[in-house]
A and B are shown apart, each in its own frame.
Chain A
Amino acid sequence: MNLFAYDFMVRALIGVVLTGLIAPAIGIYLVQRRLSLIGDGLGHVALTGVGAGLLFGRSPVIAAVVAAAIGAVVVELVRERGRTSGDVALAILFYGGISGGVMLVSLSAGSSNRNLMSYLFGSPLTTSTEDLYVIGVLAAAVLAVALFLRPWLFAVCHDEEYARVSGLPVRSLNILMAVTTAVTVTAAMRTVGLLLVSALMVIPVATAQRMSRGFAATMGWAMALGVLTGVTGLWTAWQADSAPGATIVLVAIAAFVLVTAGMVVKGRLAGRERPAPAAETEPIECAIDRAAQRDTVSG
């Protein structure tokens, strides 16, 4: 069956491709910082924006961008302070976000659980042309930040103190990164949904880092994998008549498992063909003579 026979399918495909490109492009910085789950948390917060948008008859997407951006800045400020209580503060923010969203959606007239579900788990097949324009603009902004500022964002994520001594505007870069994450979450809301967006930010990166040695290479592979799993997932969902968002994520996980298994097999084969090169180790700094030690102790 031809995937492109229907306009809604073409729109869904464009939405999925854009999501597959941008989610790993910004997600790689989150993985590098060990903040893999932050996208999920911001998705929760974005839901309050969706609810507010529906209640007040404004664009839910724009409201979600605003809510998620505010949430992202709060998260960044909490992280910067490095307090142990930050963990609890984040939990409160995230659960407050999703509760606020569910409550506001239930208050707004003419909306139903089905409406809520489409934001939580995505519904690429109902993507409208206007949705695509919004997603397109948001995606262009995310790509501009993630690609053009790569050396700077890499430096801040890799060694924040060094970036400070280099005179980089560390705080501005951190906040920019946080807001870009929020924008990505909202742009991906229509395709994989707010609860699954984190998966597309993290899983293609996790897969790509098994195959590459450098940051730029990992980023390139992750974006390629994001697009590939997005398209494959959408096609699979179409064939199997399953939920597209969830199917896309499961395809991404399948790719991760396949690549990991492939690398293990490849490593084994390489190990069999030639002896492993001697690991480069530090020269021994001190040798403890166990026998002599025993003698001293027993003597």
Chain B
Amino acid sequence: MTVVHIRDGVVAYGGRPVLHGVEARVEAGETVAVLGANGSGKSTLVRAALGLVPLQRGEISLFGTPLRRFRDWGRVGYVPQRLGAGSGVPATVREVVSAGRLARRRLGRPGRAADRDAVTAALESVGLAARAGDQVDTLSGGQQQRVLIARALAGGPDLLVLDEPTAGVDAGSQTAFAEVLHIFGAAGGTILLVAHELGPLAPLVDRAIVVHDGRIVHDGDLPEPVGHHAAFHHEHLHPHAPEETKSLW
């Protein structure tokens, strides 16, 4: 079954095209990485698939249903790049994760025991059960990222969509993250993730879609890094270094 299907997807921001008629599919149970340089359109591709960015042309379907008729949002777990900028009003870790249950709750109905249990289980799966009552702003970046994945997992999704989940996250949290995704994938879950670099997530990926200048230039096995990007210790820590190769990520 095709979980995500984008046909001839065109997206433009203020008249400037960002995606030029892309074609992409994600099948059930697959882990697909969308790779590309900054500004390549890889995030836009995934955001369009979720309906967060309007399509100028083309069609998107989720779980076989056209996006505009899709209502079964409980099956989709979205993990944004980071928690929105602090709002001033504090929120606990548990309160943020509980928002992940709303796709499965009727508007205005009080939460049931099943909702509370799902939130607790999601917090346990990312190792943050002990921090449930803490203010989310006091957590480290890596821990906040784990809060966001717990929020997505709390809804019991079939598809996880992650937008650069490990950008700026410490190595320990990245490994914990990979472990959570591995368990989710092993249980039959479908994963679509956007990444600048995969790090510890690389072994999980079944297929890679490489976006360059708003076009898909590769769709298949994870390409081998080339040049200095292939070096064991390569970490992209040199923002001011000149471009050395034509490598795409």
Residues of A in contact with B (beta carbons under 8 Å apart): 28, 31-34, 148-149, 151-152, 154-155, 157-159, 161-169, 205, 209, 212-216, 218, 280-283, 285-286
Contact = CB atoms under 8 A, between A and B. Distances in A.
B71 interface: yes
A80 to B, nearest CB: 14
Contacts of A168: 102-103, 107
Interface stretch (B1-9, B131-139, B200-208): B131-139
B141 interface: yes
A282 B107 contact: no
A233 to B, nearest CB: 24
Interface of B: 50-52, 71-74, 76, 78, 80, 83-84, 87-92, 94-96, 98-100, 102-103, 105, 107-108, 111, 133-135, 139-143, 151, 155, 161, 169-172, 235, 237
Contacts of B80: 159, 161-162
21 contacts: A32-B87, A34-B87, A34-B88, A149-B108, A151-B98, A151-B102, A152-B102, A154-B99, A155-B99, A157-B87, A159-B84, A166-B73, A166-B78, A166-B155, A167-B72, A209-B88, A212-B90, A280-B140, A281-B140, A283-B170, A283-B172
A298 B104 CA distance: 63
A31 B89 contact: yes
B134 A213 contact: yes
A162 B97 CA distance: 12
A162 B78 contact: yes
Contact of B91 (A34, A154, A281): A154
Given A154-B99, A167-B103, 14 more contacts: A31-B89, A32-B88, A32-B89, A34-B88, A158-B84, A158-B99, A159-B84, A163-B102, A165-B78, A209-B89, A280-B139, A281-B140, A282-B169, A283-B170
Nearest to A215: B91
Contact of A28 (B89, B103, B169, B237): B89
A162 B151 contact: yes
B89 A216 contact: no
A155 B78 CA distance: 14
A47 to B, nearest CB: 28
Contacts of B73: 165-167
Query: Lowest 9 CB-CB distances: which A-B pairs, in order?
Result: A167-B73, A214-B92, A165-B78, A166-B103, A155-B99, A213-B135, A32-B89, A282-B170, A215-B91
B141 A215 contact: no
A286 B52 contact: no
Contacts of B98: 151
B87 A165 contact: no
A164 B51 contact: yes
A281 B88 CA distance: 21
Scoring B84, B88, B151, B235 by chain A CB atoms within 10 A of each residue's CB, the highest score goes to B88
A11 to B, nearest CB: 33
Contact of B52 (A33, A149, A161): A161
